[in-house]
Structure 1
Amino acid sequence: MSRTLLSALILLGTLLLLFILTPGVLLVLFAGVLLAVAIRAVAVPLAARLGLGEGWGVMIVSLLAVLMAGFAFWFASDAISSQAESFRQQLPELVQRVQERLSQYSWGRWVIEQIDPRRLVPSGQTASTAATYAFSGLGGLLGGLGDVVLILLLGLYLASDPAPYRKAALALVAPPGRPRLLAVMDQGGQALRGWLLGQLFSMVVTGTFIGLGLWALGVQMAGLLALIAAVFGFIPYIGPLISVVPSLLVALGQDPSLVPWVIGLFVVSLTVEGNILTPMVQRQTAHLPPAYLLGAQALMGSGFGLIGVILAAPLAALTMAAVKVGYVEGWVEAEGPLRAPEGSPAAKAATAPEGRG
């Protein structure tokens, strides 16, 4: 066995072992990498246009993002918060209306019985169970906030200067395999960058379309429901199906005759996304067949919960790019020693003089 192959197997084995022992840590690290890729997708072209260093570009983009988020929060916080509070206050009444309408049908009564919360908590254990859930929820909230802070810091550090981390990764593989590993990292970065930009475009278009449609139908809290649809649009296929539930609940509680129109609106949105927006996204990254993507979401969701479902699509895009460049082109179809594709950034870097950072 060659030293190159042995070092590659050791690296893959170590990553697999870490994924088994500490999956949450690796998912947080991957989220940080994803954030860094998103920042550099805007910062690098901006820095080149302004004639500045990449670090300055990252700083400018980060500050602009904070200012835009603050402005959006200041501009829309009152409307969104009032709608969210209205939704919270109306939720018990909406649920009651839904239960009354479902109870008119035999299948509806069966559904109500299955989701009755009294079936989930045995008698005599309500207080202790509630306390346990409260402490568990508080711990989960604090842990989630800690993960968010860690992801933000990782994204900023990786985006500011990725060269040391790339060199550290290359040092783990024998010299003959480093050009191919560099090509894998370059291709993986391009796949993530294209997927992120395309998905962001899809989220904006979907949220705007849903918001205008709900507003035209006269559905209450159209802005909040559009925001929910846009946010869940980050999760392909599954996210849009989840986002339709709050809209249907509001429409059913407001006026049952609105329900078919709301369903039709989301069907049109899903059709446009599936036939126009998704192909546009996939042209910017590795093609992700629906069955492959849904399988990745099911696998990640069953193993890691919500964060696994959220990160399944970009992780699948990265995996396909890595397999294509690192395994198929670099091993299965390659003749002779491992090398980077001709004309790729990795090939140019491999032939560059020492000392270029």
Structure 2
Amino acid sequence: MPEKKPIPPETTKELTYTEKVWYTVGIVAIVAVLILIARVAFGVLLMALAGCLISIYFHGLGDVIERKTKWKRLPCMIISIAGSFIILGFLLWFMGSKIQIQISQLSDTLPLSIGKLKLSLDETPLGRKVLEATSGGSSEKLFATASQFFSTSFGVLGNMYIILFLGIFFTASPSLYKDGLVLLVPPDHKELARRIINRTSLTIKGWLKGTMFSMILLIVLMPIGLSIMGVPLALVLGLLAGILVIVPNFGSLIAMIPGVLLAFTISTNTAIIVALIYIGVQTLVQNIIAPIIQKKMINMPPALTIVGQLIMGVLGGAMGIIMAVPALAIMMILVDEIYVKKINPK
């Protein structure tokens, strides 16, 4: 029997410790760059979505003007855009100085209201327990979170001019961008893409209609109720409640906090009544009137909305929270058209 020659071991080059360190650093750097690019791209997508909402608003208002007047499309769109800016400018000119004064007073009054609330809570055993639970690190963390939220919100306001220009461009030639999206889809699915775009536009129009009507009602009703109770700065509190209606679930709670704190400067009973006014008006507007206007075009489970807001908030900050509902609506339409209708055809 001939002897078997031993198989020579494979020659492999061992990496030195320095090379391993540099490989690890390189991998971590690549992953970090990819995450950063995804984060930035997500922010750009949110601004593009906000621009689409502005465009849908202008076209929706143009549709209403066209139906009522039977005019051609171009003058209706000019009236829609120019009229919106004129009304906004008039409101800012008419109420801007008063709102600015009240905002300044609110920033000066809130610390005093918080101090008075602490004194009121310190008079009862339950209140002392609440103060103990919120003292120290918990309160510092709460104030830090609030500061981060408002600084992020001001960052969102800083990007408004970009969103506004995107909205104007989308409004000027919507078919250009719509056809461009359809061109990216394979020929067999172009009809599906057009159906998804049209359905998304109709759904977002319904959401915008209900949200804007809710905003107007809150801006009108809330100052009336607060003025009846003698709460100061009712105009800016109503404006804050109307603006924050765009943030479901959390917006109403955030809007209620300064109103209740200012009511504490009058009396505890006034603060309780003011809290009930906030809850009653916001429940009436957001849970009864808005769904009727939207005609159930967006029927999202509340838990899904909250989870979506938390995820969007982590990814996109305040802008992500604001855009959570329309983004979820688009995702639900995509899942329904691409997946659900395929496995459950009617």
Could you say which TM-score interval applies, normalised by the shorter chain?
Answer: 0.7 to 0.9
> Residue 332 of structure 1 is aligned with which of 319, 337, 343?
343
> Residue 160 of structure 2 is aligned with which of 124, 137, 148?
148
Deviation at 1:20, TM superposition (A): 5.7
User: Greater shift after overlay, 39-48 or 303-312?
Assistant: 39-48
Query: Can you list the C-alpha shifts for 1:26-84, whole angstroms capped at 9, x where unaligned?
Result: 11111111111111101234246353234x43332221111111111121123222222
- Determine the C-alpha separation between the residues in 2 that align with 1:64 and 1:19: 38
User: Could you tell me which amino acid in structure 1 is paired with residue 118 of structure 2?
Assistant: Q
Deviation at 1:261, TM superposition (A): 0.4
How do 1:137-176 residues align onto structure 2 when only pairs under 5 Å count? 144=156, 147-176=159-188
Q: Which residue of 2 aligns with 1:71?
A: 90
Secondary structure in structure 2 of the residue aligned to 1:233: helix
Q: Which residue of 2 aligns with 1:338?
A: none
Deviation at 1:229, TM superposition (A): 0.8
| Cα gap change, 1:311 to 1:154, in 2 (>3 Å) | same
State TM-score, norm by structure 1. Answer: 0.76
How do 1:173-192 residues align onto structure 2 when only pairs under 5 Å count? 173-192=185-204
Deviation at 1:188, TM superposition (A): 0.3
**Residues 195 and 284 in structure 1, CA contact (< 8 A), matched pair in contact too:** no
Q: Which residue of 2 aligns with 1:246?
A: 258
Q: Which residue of 2 aligns with 1:42?
A: 61
Aligned: 1:113 with 2:136: yes
Q: Which residue of 2 aligns with 1:268?
A: 280
**Residues 210 and 291 in structure 2, CA contact (< 8 A), matched pair in contact too:** no
Q: Which residue of 2 aligns with 1:201?
A: 213
- Determine the C-alpha separation between the residues in 1 that align with 2:141 and 2:41: 36
| Cα gap change, 1:28 to 1:294, in 2 (>3 Å) | same
Higher Cα Rg: structure 1 or 2? Answer: 2
How do 1:73-112 residues align onto structure 2 when only pairs under 5 Å count? 73-104=92-123, 105-110=127-132, 111-112=134-135
**Residues 110 and 258 in structure 2, CA contact (< 8 A), matched pair in contact too:** no
- Determine the C-alpha separation between the residues in 1 that align with 2:204 and 2:235: 29
Q: Which residue of 2 aligns with 1:258?
A: 270
| Cα gap change, 1:232 to 1:30, in 2 (>3 Å) | same
Query: Can you list the C-alpha shifts for 1:157-191, whole angstroms capped at 9, x where unaligned?
Result: 11111111111111111111100110000000000
Paired positions, count: 303
Q: Which residue of 1 aligns with 2:313?
A: 301
User: Could you tell me which amino acid in structure 2 is paired with residue 192 of structure 1?
Assistant: I
How do 1:212-251 residues align onto structure 2 when only pairs under 5 Å count? 212-251=224-263
Q: Which residue of 1 aligns with 2:71?
A: 51
| Cα gap change, 1:176 to 1:290, in 2 (>3 Å) | same
- Determine the C-alpha separation between the residues in 2 that align with 1:140 and 1:309: 10
**Residues 210 and 293 in structure 2, CA contact (< 8 A), matched pair in contact too:** yes
Percent of aligned pairs with the same residue?
Answer: 25
Aligned: 1:289 with 2:301: yes
Deviation at 1:108, TM superposition (A): 3.7
Superposition RMSD on alpha carbons, in Å? Answer: 2.9
User: Greater shift after overlay, 167-176 or 44-53?
Assistant: 44-53
**Residues 66 and 72 in structure 2, CA contact (< 8 A), matched pair in contact too:** yes
| Cα gap change, 1:119 to 1:294, in 2 (>3 Å) | closer
Aligned: 1:280 with 2:292: yes
Q: Which residue of 2 aligns with 1:8?
A: none
User: What are structure 1's unaligned runs of at least 5 residues?
Assistant: 1-16, 122-132, 336-357
| Cα gap change, 1:199 to 1:228, in 2 (>3 Å) | same
Query: Can you list the C-alpha shifts for 1:208-261, whole angstroms capped at 9, x where unaligned?
Result: 222211111111111111111111111122211111101011111232221110
| Cα gap change, 1:155 to 1:244, in 2 (>3 Å) | same
Q: Which residue of 2 aligns with 1:27?
A: 46
User: What are structure 2's unaligned runs of at least 5 residues?
Assistant: 1-35
- Determine the C-alpha separation between the residues in 2 that align with 1:278 and 1:244: 19
